[in-house]
Amino acid sequence: IVVGSDPSLASVGTAFVSIFQDQNKKKLLAKFSVSPFDFTKHVQVVEGSKFYYTVTSTNWYNGCAPAEVIFTIIDLSSDFRITEAEVLEGTIYSALVFINAMLTAKVTNLDLVLLQLLRSLEHAGDRKAAQAIARIATCILNQWSSIPRLEDNKIASKVRALIAECIDHLETAHEGLRTWTLTQWSSGSLPGPHIQTLLELLLAARSIIPKEDAEDAAAAAEGTFKAETTTAEKEKTLEWLSKTITENKIPDNVLQAFTKYRDGPSKCTMISLMYEETMTSRTLMTKPDPHNRYLVDDFVADVCVRGGKWYYECRFNGQCNYACVGFINRNYRKRSNSGIGNDNTGNTWCVVEPNTAFMHRGRNIQSIRNEKFEMARPNWTSGVVIGVKLNLDDKFVEFLFDGVSKGHVFNGIECEDGYVPFEHAGILSSSWLKRYQVASDVTMLLTKRVPLPDKIVHSALASEASLEYSQKMRFEVVKSNAIRGANADLILQDNPSCAHSMKPENTNITFKVSGHEPVEFVLRSVSIRCPPSVTSFRVFVFVGNNDPDFDSFEWCKHWDQRAFDNFEARKRSSNTTANTIIINSNANAGVVIRKPHEPVAFIDVVGSAAHVKMRPPVSGKFVTLKLVSRDTGNFGGFSIEYISFDCIHGCHPLANLIGDADESMKKRNEIIHSLKSVIQSKCGNWTLAMDEALTEMSQIVATRLGVDVITLDSVMLAPNKDDLNRFKKLTVAENEEMQGRFALIKYLNKLVTPLLHYIDVTLFSDDDEGGAGNTSLASFAMSFLSALARTQTSPSVSRSGGTEESKKDAKSSSSSSSSSSSLSSSSLAVATTSSSLSSQIHTLKGCYFMNTKKSVFDTLLASSCTFNQRNQPRITVNRIKAARAREAKNDPNGLKSTFGQLFSQLKNTRYSTFRGNSGQQLWSVQFVGEGSIDVGGPYRESLTNAVSDLQSSSTPLFVLSPNGRNSVGLNREKWIPNPSCTSSLHLSMYEFVGVLMGIALRTKQTLGFDLPSIVWKQLLPDEKVDMTDLEAIDKLCVQALNELEKIDEKSFNYVVYERFTTQLSDGTEIELKENGKNIDVTKKNLPEFVSLVIKKRLNESTEQMKAISKGLNQVVPVRMLSLFNWYDLEVLVCGNPNIDIEALRRHTVYQGGLSASSDVVKFFWKTLYAFSQEERQLFLRFVWGRNRLPPTEHDWNTNFTIKALNAGEESLPIAHTCFFSIDLPPYSSFELCRDKLRFAIHNCQAIDIDFNPSSSSLQAWVDDF
């Protein structure tokens, strides 16, 4: 529509033209404002065949007669041009329709279209419109090699330069947006979808126009690179560049630190956490908070470091009554205005003005100094300069005041190699986009299953076969002479709890790797943290292969640092041989041989924390620490807060070469060379299914070794026979081949973890906000994709810049597009966007470790939490009533069961209010007649009972799988939705089942659903059910269909008497087609019969599954689950059905004088190891009210507690489900402990503590119904 002014209409004045889609003039499409003597033609593009308009003018109401208005309607598929005098204006949506029309007309200059899209994106004010533009521009860029572009090379070069300029502007804008998102980080929010789509656009653009080529393109467009440039001029320029680089050379250690350990721009930006905005100046001033109550703020720099040694400083000018200077980690969340010095979560380290206190976990920490003296307090108001050194190699922080060090804080060892400033003028801004581009490249290459470049393989193997990285092995206390019971295990947990020593002058503690049997390790360092009351102590470290005798260490307890140094010098010079541990030191020092009672490390600590390094690292199975307190502190005792070990597994191929730098490097180079050769030569053999199997198997191997999978060195991946039997796809690969491929998968996970927070994995999905705008955006995007597919079918358009392979791809793409014009727009979108980064990331979802996926999923859950504890419902459950109804079988709908009672009392609650956080209790339960007090136990018990009811005859909603009823095939224990439960009541109950699943996902309260793959797959939109899922629940059905196809035509009618009917999973017989019970199955119509049976059986519970999905979606939106496979979802909801005793031991504490070395505790663990999986589940339900452990280590939000029970050994153990604890009597033998515990878990189900029975509680036991 073209609207313009006419000289004959000057008396009309300013006219307003409105275009509507409907006759009632409700849907406005366009609006024009035309002034007199303004002869510019205004153009807007609208889509449709019929429009309605109004024309108004203020002059008409002043007596001027209405004038005629002439509209020009142009079909854009014709030869349409816009002249320079005409202005294309209007909404972004109309512009997108205009582009769609250009594509329909097979316009050949799509690079011009891309340029206009990028230009309009720079000025888009509407986020949703910007998302639509960015997605369409991304779509063009992803198919750059096959789209029609300008044929004139000179014009095409200029357009390319302009596109590169736009990309540079957008990249700068993205850096600003990303910095802005950091201002929201403290509250735990995720970047918005507009930032995600912009990032994907930039990644697609940089793959075509790299940043280093942008200046060349611009220069070429301007003609600056002329042929007349002389050789002398070039040489002069090169000489000048060489001189500049030489004079301003960046030190190697600085460049390496910036490259390896630092994330963020070289020029830091300060962020205000209170006002959630970036600061324009380095001068930081406090101002009143939004409520005008405080003059306080937290300022954070947008730089993150992961290792190395760093330094920064700040100057205080003027009056400041309170200030904190230091570091925070990414887990820090601003929850108050009291400053980071009062953070008690252990995520901050700082010095606090005005008393110069060093604060961690909200407590004052003593600094570490060479001698005891009273530290001079600096004058904070006189322009003092605070310097901060962060040493992540040796793990300490040091503060300097006007250049004078006041001692190391938190941990301490002298730094030898110098520090690197957080900013360096010689290093250009470090682009986050480059890091994301590497992640994008690796993702793309693994998706396309093509050979990997040497550079990527080298990067993937950089951290493999290395002794540099800690493997975070889990340790446990074996024994101690001074710390008893639960205190001994508290010191391995990073929290403020203290373990008090009864012998401060001689504390001995022995540790080993957590597990049933001792495991060899290579110890590199030990970190010890004591409370601030401890001001000095000495640490001796002993390592051996056997459980030691503490008396053998007494000979050296009076040593100081000089005595230990003299001992070390004598050992190195004498090289005395003995039948002991051999420690390989470096080649210059020779081999040092130590006896088990000789210390391998020593440090004399002045302060409350220490970090002891083994030089060189030491191998063994037991490590003993001797702690000698020189100062018993202000409270007359010695306490320990936390002890941690930095080590690697003893099965590492280089473990026996530690200390011999030359040999270990030679061996590592051989391993890396071999892995690189295997990766390159065997890359084509690996399928996506093999990668997914390897990912799952590697997590199992890592758990067995007791290390995190991301820290598992690839050369340690050694699957056993059981692993290979479970993952049969990997039997064709050699072990070295699996190790090389695992290194690539680890590298992928490291790269993709930060990228997942910025990539929109729900491309073209509806946004959370409803409205017509969303429909319009989706419609425009689909129209564009359809038009792009149609445009590529034209054989006449030129395709410049593509290789032969790209042309072949384009040709095949064109033919597929033209042959599928009848497909739906959604399927076309999937086909067209298959090359987008989001789709590639989604394709590789089976290659991500569970922790990688959960890092994003947990953030999404936390940011969408809406549960209010004050509105917690109160539920009454009568389990006696439920049991009687189950025995009498008079409850056909299951409403008297525990599940039914929960459903009846919660069905009128908005299920979306159950969006809680991890560990939250969403309702309070009172068990009638049982005297329960709900502090968590009855709530968990109600959920466990509800799931048990669903998988029994107590409710009709689920039936045992046909395999279970017939005792054949797999999944005999699995339950499936009842196909006959289709009433509105039953569907509402199914919806509540989905709510329970969502609650399990959000609160980490796993529920023991025994459901097959056919159920879990239907809860995820991307998973498809097939014959394998049907066979997994009804093997006889699939077997019968296969046998029917084997019968020859002559014999068929004599042996087959089937009709077009089939039995569902609940035994109900239904017709497969109209009048099917009267239609015989013949050899001719057998394919139709088989197809109908499979289709019906795979979709027999569609209504029920839709109801479950509806309930799940109200608590956890399904789009949040897009990265998970069906078996991931099962683990997240249900946990691992196999109770891992080692995992339970790692999360166990002891009280009442017990410890891991107590006899009754040893009997207890031996009993659990001897239990079957069913008995282990009964035990867990007995002590915790649930029958599954948390799915991952990060999901444990409470520890299991074992207490001593002051009773005779004839007593039964007592469980406290609210507190996940058990009281153990002092059993004298393993047999007695096993028998008593087995009796308790089988016979003690009710919550029956001492209580005053009221009439209502007694009524529950005598009620006759």
Q: Show the tokens assigned to 807.
A: 């042309």
Q: Is 1218 part of the annotated catalytic residue set?
A: yes
Report how far residue 1152's alpha carbon sits from residue 1164's, in angstroms, rounded to the nearest whole number.
Answer: 16
3-class secondary-structure state, position 941: helix
Report how far residue 517's alpha carbon sits from residue 959's, in angstroms, rounded to the nearest whole number.
Answer: 43
Determine the distance from the C-alpha atom of residue 998 to the mean position of all C-alpha atoms in its chain, rounded to a whole number. 18
Largest CA-CA distance found in the chain, in angstroms, rounded: 118
Beta bridge partners of 342: none
Please report, for the chain, how many H helices and E strands are present, in that order. Answer: 38, 42
3-class secondary-structure state, position 73: coil
Pairing mode, if any, of strands 41-43 and 86-88? parallel
Pairing mode, if any, of strands 52-57 and 277-278? unpaired
Beta-strand runs (E) in 428-547: 475-480, 499-501, 507-513, 521-529, 536-544
Question: SS3 helix, strand, coil % of the chain, rounded to 5?
Answer: 45, 15, 40
Beta bridge partners of 57: 15
Instruction: Let me know the angle formed at the C-alpha of 31 by 26 and 33, rounded to the nearest 5 degrees.
Output: 140
Half-sphere exposure of 119 (CA within 13 A, CB side): 12
List helix spans (H) across 951-1058: 962-966, 984-1003, 1013-1017, 1027-1033, 1035-1046, 1049-1055
3-class secondary-structure state, position 613: strand
DSSP state of 1158: S
- The interaxial angle of helices 1126-1134 and 850-863, nearest 10 deg, is 60
| Chain length of the chain | 1265
Beta-strand runs (E) in 1169-1247: 1200-1204, 1214-1216, 1221-1224
Burial class (CB in 10 A: 0-12, 13-18, 19+), 247: exposed
Could you tell me if 36 and 14 are in contact, meaning their C-beta atoms sit under 8 angstroms apart? Answer: yes
Q: Show the tokens assigned to 734.
A: 């050699």
Residue of 803, 818, 914 lying closest to 868 (CA atoms): 914
Burial class (CB in 10 A: 0-12, 13-18, 19+), 831: middle
Could you tell me if 491 and 641 are in contact, meaning their C-beta atoms sit under 8 angstroms apart? Answer: yes
Report how far residue 1018's alpha carbon sits from residue 72's, in angstroms, rounded to the nearest whole number.
Answer: 52
DSSP state of 295: B
Residue of 769, 773, 756, 755 lying closest to 132 (CA atoms): 773
Could you tell me if 562 and 679 are in contact, meaning their C-beta atoms sit under 8 angstroms apart? Answer: no
Q: Show the tokens assigned to 629.
A: 């307190």
Count the Cβ atoms, other than its own, within 10 Å of residue 507. Answer: 22
Report how far residue 44's alpha carbon sits from residue 3's, in angstroms, rounded to the nearest whole number.
Answer: 9
Beta bridge partners of 1076: none
Q: Which of 350, 530, 1218, 1233 is catalytic?
A: 1218
DSSP 18-29: EEESSTTS-SEE
State in Å, rounded, how far the first CA of the chain is from the last one: 77
Kind plus residue range of the DSSP H or E element containing 326: strand 323-328
Burial class (CB in 10 A: 0-12, 13-18, 19+), 653: middle
Catalytic machinery residues? 1218
